[in-house]
Amino acid sequence: MEYMLFICSDPSAPEYVAAEDSIVEWVAEMEARGVARHGDRLRPVEDATTVTVRAGEVVVSDGPFAETKEWIAGYDIIACADLDEAIEVASKHPMARFGKIEIRPVWPLGE
Amino acid sequence: MLGGDDVAPDLTDVRRAVEAASVAETARITATLIRVTGDWSLAEDCVQDAFARALVDWPERGVPGNPGAWLTTVAKNRAIDRIRNAASEKRAVGELAVLTELEGLEDGSGGYRAAGDDRLSLIYTCCHPALPLDARVALTLRTVAGLTTREIARAFLVSEATMAKRLVRARAKIRDAGIPYRVPPPELISERTSGIMAVLYLLFNEGYSATGGSSLVREPLALEAIRLTRLLSALLKGSPQEPESLGLLALMLFHHARRRTRTDAAGDLVTLEEQDRGFWDQSAITEAVALLAAADHLGVSLRSGPCSYRVQAGIAACHMTAGDFGSTDFARVAGLYDSLAQIAPSPVVELNRAVAVAMSQGPEAGLALIDTLDRTRSLEGYYLLPAAKADLLRRLGRQSEARSEYQRALDLAPSETERRYLGKRLAEADPGATAEFIPNESATATQHERGQE
């Protein structure tokens, strides 16, 4: 099954410590295991643009679609046997310690 | 297969046989059908259909010699029919394999291969932490205990439609989020088994702590919880999780033993001290003592560390085996709360420890601990803290301070039952009344467990 990990900030999480950031090791392990499909960081919400089409008109606005204290700082698409493996993979991600991770199953079109 | 009695049996006997089979067989048959088909609703529906058939068939043809095998065959055939009918419409992939396996299922008196494992898989999946807690409870009652959606809805005081929706949502999440149907691997088993026990204990407390009008419909939940914990203990036999499971069973039985004395005729709470010990269920206490001894013995031989339910059962044992309130070994109770505070630190456990210290070393010692706890504000809003404090102050003859603490407790009390209890105590705490220490029963036995949930 494919899952998307939303790597989120969390104001209540411990302070980020660069020396404890194990993202390189995580990527290496998950690629070696064949789990990691694709993932990256995301630029901050200040760089976000929101687009809507209303009555045929494209409306572009600055900023994220919802103002929240938490935001998505990155994402990863992973392929796992089941939710327990996805939980294990997410729990090893450094941002599980410095932020939080939401696991969402991918819902293929037509299913 | 239908080798039952030749004479048509009495209808009540048949109903009793169906009920007994439901208790004994539901989880096993459902668990196996889920494993083979991967379809929770299908499995539950087919099992329910099989019981419905039994209610029609058995009065006419007699109760079969092996009701479990009969029900299994009917449920299995129903599943095969339903899959065939659905398959002819949309030809789902993998259907043939499922049908082959279904047809190959043994249904003789020997039961299924690895039937125990199937039931364990079912319980672990129902209690998966990715499901909301209320859904874990509902799903366990539906699929493991075999209660109907209507029965569960009634016990949780929600409409049948709400409960049905909750169950549909839970089954959908199991399927769509890829929650595995299995006994978890060794690295997860300890944590996940604790999760099951938390669900069972929550279920027990839902039934046990029900008072007043809702108690009639909720009390059966406590019995279901005990039955499910027995099943879990049997399935975990020989595993490192067995001692904790036996400890939980002992704890439930200790509480259950005094169910008739917890409230008076008016529905008011009766404290542990005031309960009539003659009405305690001695056979439940005897069983709980034996289970706890077995759990502790196993815990030592398996070198498993101290676990929360066993310690809590130890505390309950101190209360339940004392001839009267005054002869309770409160020093041992305080010591056990100390151990509990190390395993599962919580301010509620600290409060209970303080009450036990007050009982063994005197009210000043207890009051000092409660004052410290009060200052940390970690139990702010929790009515049992001022209630316990008020009782100690009253015992020390500091009546006006006691009254203001009773008032504080009264303002925070969660329900009418507690408010009535505290109101009575407040009225008694006038300057002329004799100082008498009456600890709140919940403060010593029940509330700390609820506080940890």
Question: Which residues in chain B touch residue A105, judged by CB atoms under 8 angstroms apart?
Answer: 176-178
Q: Is the pLDDT of residue B79 over 70?
A: yes
CA B98, chain centre distance (Å): 35
Please tell me the distance in Å from A63's CA to the nearest CA on chain B.
31
Rg (chain B; Cα; Å) = 25
Q: What tens digit of pLDDT does each residue of B210-233 get?
A: 766 667 678 888 999 999 999 999
- The total number of structural domains that make up chain B: 4
For the stretch A44-58, what's the b/e string if a residue is b when 16 or more beta carbons lie within 10 angstroms of its beta carbon? ebeeeeeeeeeeeee
What pLDDT shows up at residue B116? 53
The amino acid at residue B14 is V
Both B102 and B153 in one domain: the answer is no
Give the DSSP H/E element, type plus range, for residue B65: none
Which pLDDT tens digit goes with each residue over B387-411?
999 999 999 999 999 999 999 999 9
Most confidently predicted of B16-25, B108-117, B118-127: B118-127
Tens of pLDDT, residue by residue over B127-180, are: 999 999 999 999 999 999 888 899 899 888 899 999 999 999 999 999 999 999
Rounded Cα distance, B382 and A106, in Å: 43
A2-105: CATH topology is Alpha-Beta Plaits (3.30.70)
**Is residue B2's pLDDT more than 60?**
no
Does residue B118 or residue A68 have the better pLDDT?
B118
Domain membership of residue B317 (yes or no) is yes
Q: How many CB pairs under 8 A join A and B?
A: 25
Query: If pLDDT is split at 50, 70 and 90, which confidence band does B437 have?
Result: very low
| Chain B residues closer than 8 Å to A86 by CB | 178
Q: Which residue has the higher pLDDT, B100 or B80?
A: B80
DSSP one-letter code for A13:
S
Residues 6+ apart with CB under 8 A from A78: A2, A3, A4, A5, A30, A35, A36, A37, A39, A86, A89
CB B247 within 8 A of CB B292: yes
- The domain of B157 spans 114-235
Q: Report if residue B98 sits inside a domain.
A: yes
Which range is most confident: B3-7, B89-93, B300-304?
B300-304
Task: Name the nearest CA neighbour of B448 among B92, B146, B209, B159.
Answer: B209
Q: What is the pLDDT of residues B245-281, one digit of tens each?
A: 999 999 999 999 998 898 888 877 888 889 999 999 9
For chain B, what percent of residues have pLDDT higher than 90? 60
Contact residues on chain B for A1, CB-CB shorter than 8 A = 178
User: Using beta carbons and an 8 Å cutoff, which residues of A are at the interface with B?
Assistant: 1, 3, 80-84, 86-87, 103, 105, 107
CA distance A96 to chain B (A): 16
CA distance A52 to chain B (A): 29
Chain A nearest CA to B178, separation (Å): 5
In this structure, is residue B208 part of a structural domain? yes
Tell me the average pLDDT of chain B.
Answer: 86
Residue B182 in any domain: the answer is yes
> By mean pLDDT, which of A82-86, B10-14, B201-205, B379-383 is the weakest?
B10-14
pLDDT of residue B193: 94
State both tokens at B436. 């008498």
Residue B342, in any domain of the structure: yes
Q: Which pLDDT value is given to residue B117?
A: 65
* Same domain for B434 and B407: yes
Query: What is the model's pLDDT at position B430?
Result: 64
Cβ atoms B87, B67 nearer than 8 A: no
pLDDT band, residue B436 (cuts 50/70/90): very low
Q: Which of A45-54, A59-68, B354-363 has the lowest mean pLDDT?
A: A59-68
Looking at the structure, do residues B128 and B219 belong to the same domain, yes or no? yes
Task: Say how far apart CA B352 and CA B350 lie, in whole Å.
Answer: 5
User: Given phi > 0 = left and psi -120 to 50 = alpha, else beta, which region is B365?
Assistant: alpha
**Would you say residue B329 lies in a domain?**
no
Task: Looking at the structure, tell me whether residues B71 and B166 fall in a common domain.
Answer: no
**Measured distance between the N- and C-terminal CA atoms of chain B, rounded to whole angstroms:** 47
Q: Could you tell me if B26 and B119 lie in one domain?
A: no
Asked if residues B74 and B53 have their Cβ atoms less than 8 Å apart, the reply is yes
Q: Which residue of A has its CA nearest to B189?
A: A84
Choose the closest CB to A1 out of B128, B178, B184: B178
Q: How far apart are CA B184 and CA B171, in angstroms?
A: 19
Which of B90, B131, B176, B189 to mutate to probe the A interface, most A CBs <10 Å?
B176
Q: At what angle do helices B330-343 and B308-320 cross, to 10 degrees?
A: 170
Whether A105 and B178 lie within 8 Å, measured CB to CB: yes
Residue B451 pLDDT greater than 50, yes or no = no
Residues of A in contact with B184 (CB under 8 A): 84
- Alpha-helical (H) ranges within chain A are 23-32, 83-92, 94-98
For an interface test with B, the pick among A84, A85, A88 (most B C-beta atoms closer than 10 Å) comes out as: A84
Q: Residue with structure tokens 């490192």?
A: B240
Mention every residue, 6+ apart, whose C-beta is less than 8 A from residue B131.
B139, B170, B173, B174, B179
Which residues in chain A touch residue B173, judged by CB atoms under 8 angstroms apart? none
Element (H, E) at B249: helix B242-257
Q: What is the pLDDT of residue B123?
A: 95
Average predicted confidence (pLDDT) for chain A: 93
Do B343 and B245 lie in one domain? The reply is no
Tell me if B251 sits within 8 A of B228, measured CB to CB: no
Name the interface residues of B facing A (CB cutoff 8 Å): 128, 130, 176-180, 184, 188
Q: Give pLDDT, residue B260.
A: 87
Residue B330 lies in a domain: no
For residues B427 and B365, membership in a common domain is answered with yes
Of B89, B113, B137, which residue constitutes the final position of a domain? B113
Residue B89 has pLDDT above 70, yes or no: no
| Contact residues on chain A for B176, CB-CB shorter than 8 A | 105, 107
- B282 and B342 in a common domain: no
What are the tokens at B322? 């004392």
